[in-house]
Amino acid sequence: MSVQQIPTGKIINGEEVIAIELTNSKGTYIQLFNYGAIINKFIVKNAKGELQDIVLGFEDVTQYLDEEYLINNPHIGAVIGRYANRIKDGKFSIDDEHYQLVKNTGTDSLHGGDIGFDKKVWDIVEVGDEGQSFVTLEYESVDGEEGFPGNLIIDLTFELTENDELILTYEGETDKATAINLTHHGYFNLAPNGGNVGKHTQQIFASAYLEQDENYCVTGKVIPVENTPLDFTQPKTFEQDWNPSEGYDQTFVLDKIYGDLSLAAKTFEEESGLTLSIYTTESVAHLYTSKYLRAKNGKDGKYYGAFDAFCIETQHHPNAVNIYEFPSTILRPDELYTQTTIFKISVNK
């Protein structure tokens, strides 16, 4: 178990970008950047004993700043904030105060606005000692950033265990009531050579999903998954029921008590023998099979296109700040925002 910090020599907004490497005794290896709290590499041993990277990303951190990449706005591997997913019309109210956010997807606000947490250099505030493999990053989002109220401080710890679990623990405090909904936007592919994820087998422990409008914004209506293509209560491949030109881009309401850490989803890929199990304290998981992914010069020179990855974004209900029947996404000065999500890798030999 070890942690290493490696200067990249890259300066963004006057701050140096550091690569942080987490390893365990099994050879599992995580590379993070303090820019965007990006998980850039997640290397594990597959059923053949081969080392395999299961996340999309780039060799050079500056590629995350490429203009063409940013136009497509895929948020590869980054932490999303202040507010994951879409807020309808980019506006909300708290205690009769009205707030207008940056609109960066049609008439709505997506993933925190134009310059969200995924485009910030985070401070490294703590790293594990010998025998510990963790790092804690911190970011202070100032009052008014992207239109959100309050000075919000977020601490995010990445911990790699001997059981091949990557544990993400979030804590947040604010000096003024604000809206918050954080998630991690990793793009996963469990196949040894990547490519279309249609044959991955997926299970999501959710008996309902959230209706979306034509712009993918949640309306407030909760719909049973039974007898729909969105029923993943039993394992099935993505391609079994998907529209091959659309894939999936949907939020599922997990069959769990909010705040309890429990299994949300499992993904299996036959050739590698790898299973990714995701545990979370959050109330929903958003499944996205990367229809809009367009990124060139990925790792090993790969082009990442539509359906070359899947994302499972654990979070609070999207647009809940405007739908009062949903669990609250308002954080107040006397409260602590907390979330834990675990990405666990196992091998079926």
Prior bond to 82 cis, omega within 30? yes
pTM exceeds 0.85, yes or no: yes
Cα(38)–Cα(85) distance, rounded to whole angstroms?
18
What is the residue whose two structure tokens read 């293509």? 229
Residue at 157: amino acid letter: T
pLDDT digits (tens, 9 = 90+) for 166-208: 999 999 999 999 999 999 999 999 999 999 999 999 999 999 9
Query: DSSP assignment, residue 210?
Result: E
For the segment 327-344, what is each residue's pLDDT rounded down to a tens digit? 999 999 999 999 999 999
- End-to-end CA, the chain: 25
Residue 265: per-residue pLDDT: 98
Q: Which residue has the tokens 């919000």?
A: 152
119 DSSP 8-state letter:
G
Here the tokens at position 197 are 């994820």
pLDDT of residue 160: 97
Q: Which domain holds residue 276?
A: 2-347
Give catalytic residues, as residue numbers: 185, 313
C-alpha distance from residue 239 to each of 22, 55, 152, 198, 205 (Å): 34, 20, 41, 5, 18
Structural domains counted in the chain: 1
- Band the pLDDT of 2: cuts 50, 70, 90: confident
Using one digit for the tens of pLDDT, what is the confidence trace for 249-266? 999 999 999 899 999 999
Chain mean position to CA 200: 19
What the block records as the tokens of 2 is: 């070890």
Residues whose CB is less than 8 angstroms from the CB of residue 67 and which lie 6 or more positions away in sequence, other chains included: none
Burial 299-309 (b: 16+ CB within 10 A, else e): beebebbbbbb
**How far is it, in rounded angstroms, from Cα 202 to Cα 265?**
7
Banded model confidence at residue 349, pLDDT cuts 50, 70, 90: low
Q: Among 120, 111, 113, 114, which residue's Cα sits nearest to residue 36?
A: 120
Instruction: Identify the H or E element spanning 68.
Output: helix 67-72
Domain containing 281 — which CATH number?
Answer: 2.70.98.10
Assign 132 a pLDDT band (cuts: 50, 70, 90).
confident
Closest of 268, 288, 278, 293 to residue 349, by C-alpha? 268
